[in-house]
A and B are shown apart, each in its own frame.
Chain A
Amino acid sequence: MNQSIQILTHLPIDIPGLMASLRSPITGGIVLFSGEVRNINKGREVSFLEYEAYELMAQKKITEIVEYAIRKWELNTALCVHRLGRLEISDCAVLVLTASMHRAQAYDANRFIIDMVKREVPIWKKEYYTDGSFEWGNNIDCQCNVTAEQSIHAHSLLPTREDHLLS
């Protein structure tokens, strides 16, 4: 991953600029995933979101995930940027770009990266609702598509523990 890219940012994510930064004569396809702020979650009307991160660890984890995906799918390049702070409806919360010679690798790697970011990176979302209440998010029940094989392979490079305390 390009080291000059800011992985965590409080500013709006520059999607066209980052997309342009990945273009290369050797690339046949770029897959773009933008995770956006939805106005309804679990039947409740969302007003806005706030994201926070354990920043040093989150940057390190995202870098490890992206570098692993580049190696596994032999991508030309890839990046992932996550927003922090207050986000409004339809803002881009997370951007994943994967560039490869052929589209299959770019699609597979992109899905892997976003699933791993949701599962493995210390970032938290606080949802504020239009009725004035709020709730912290939880990705435990998210529909991640990381297969057992991918997860095992990733874990050999991304040391994590599933241990839960007091359990």
Chain B
Amino acid sequence: MSWDAGLPLLVLASSLLPGLVIFFLPEERVATRTTLNLAGATLKLLLVGVMIWGVFHGHHYETRLPLLPGLDLVLRADPLSMLFVVLSSVLWLVTTVYAIGYLEDSPNRSRFFGFFSLCVTATVGVALAGNLISFLLFYELLTLATYPLIVHRGTDAARKAGRTYLTYTVAGGVLLLVGTVWLYVLTGTLEFTARGFLSALDESHHWALVVIFVLLIAGLGVKTALVPLHGWLPQAMVAAAPVSALLHAVAVVKAGAFGIVRVVYDVYGIQFAASLGVTLPLAIVAAVTIIYGSMRALFQDDLKRRLAFSTVSQIAYIVLGIAIVGPIAAIGALVHLMHQGVMKITLFFCAGNLAETLGIHKVSEMNGVGRRMPWTMAAFTIGAFGMIGVPPLAGFISKWYLGLGALDAGQDWVIFILAGSSLLNAAYFLPVLYAAWFRAPADTWPAERIFGRRETAWALLAPPLVTALLTLVLGLLASAPFSPLLWARFITALEYAP
């Protein structure tokens, strides 16, 4: 196997192998487990760095393994997949550091980190999948790998959340499977192709293609948490903070959104999808999700539940940007795939810090917490302002391109959705910031832990600071070489090339 054919497999193995070893490590082998975790995450990052450089210079990395007669397991590095791979690799490293600090004294850490690595392997598999069947395999593996993480704490609430998650995602998986099989019967291929592979089909099949589109989007919409398929996400917030970070920013919801991008671009082709008339309903569903998620977030006192509804709203931006049908909005959608991940992971890390250090779980308990944990709350502030879309943070860049794309595509109504969503974002984030920075602190915190002179443990504090800095850098240096914005432009230029 040549280097170019083996590299995608190596990227996958860099998290799979450490994960498998960790499963069998005794609980007390903390150093070995930590070394394996960090080595795997760092190696993956290096390999991805090599791959992204190669893809930019026209290298073709593809692993093809026979799976079924006529169907291969394909791992391929293309510009779109690299965007998602980079996001998951970078955030995996950061989340690993955070998880090590977060689960310092918890039981069953080998089991946790084993599934954690498996989860990231599945995510990278979803990103690198070169056809719909490979995508489906990794997508379902992701469901199975994430479930043990959600129920890890073993509480009733965790088990209930796990059940709901499994019910939703398995049902979604069934829809996706039916859609995929139907598509294969109709076309004889499932290979992702730039600008799609369905436009050549006879017009008599168009009805079927519309139904298949609905099946695929409904299947993927579960993980994307599109309304009304979002019910599992706010429940899953009972999971530990690193898992929430993984669910909301790196793996699960992103896999769903990425899947929708793949289906619209590389299965149907954006122009063909628009000609079938399926993009406008998709845009409407996304718009409803954006407003609904924000409205629900507005009334949540539980901090993580508020953030969960915020995710419901924010992920729909990606779908909206794709469904608007235009190159500029597509840039906004793709860049938001990356930016939302970085901003949302910051917020979840901070929520985890508040819970672990002071026992704070509710917004109403956050009065004056900015004085007790200034660095954590500074990171939270940057993440929240990013979500609102305040310049020069990452969220501003996404909203800029989405708004501009809507104008460019003649979909002016989207501007009102974006404006309404920004207002609602401000309405549910600013009171949190106000309480944290300007209200007088309570005499005692719900469950305070002292970490010497520091506000919390280094392993808990460093990750949100790094991701908050990234939120600033991704926005401020949006036009720097290899920035997500330039990469998104690169992808869109390929998709919309004449």
A and B together in one complex: no
Interface residues of A (CB under 8 A from B): none
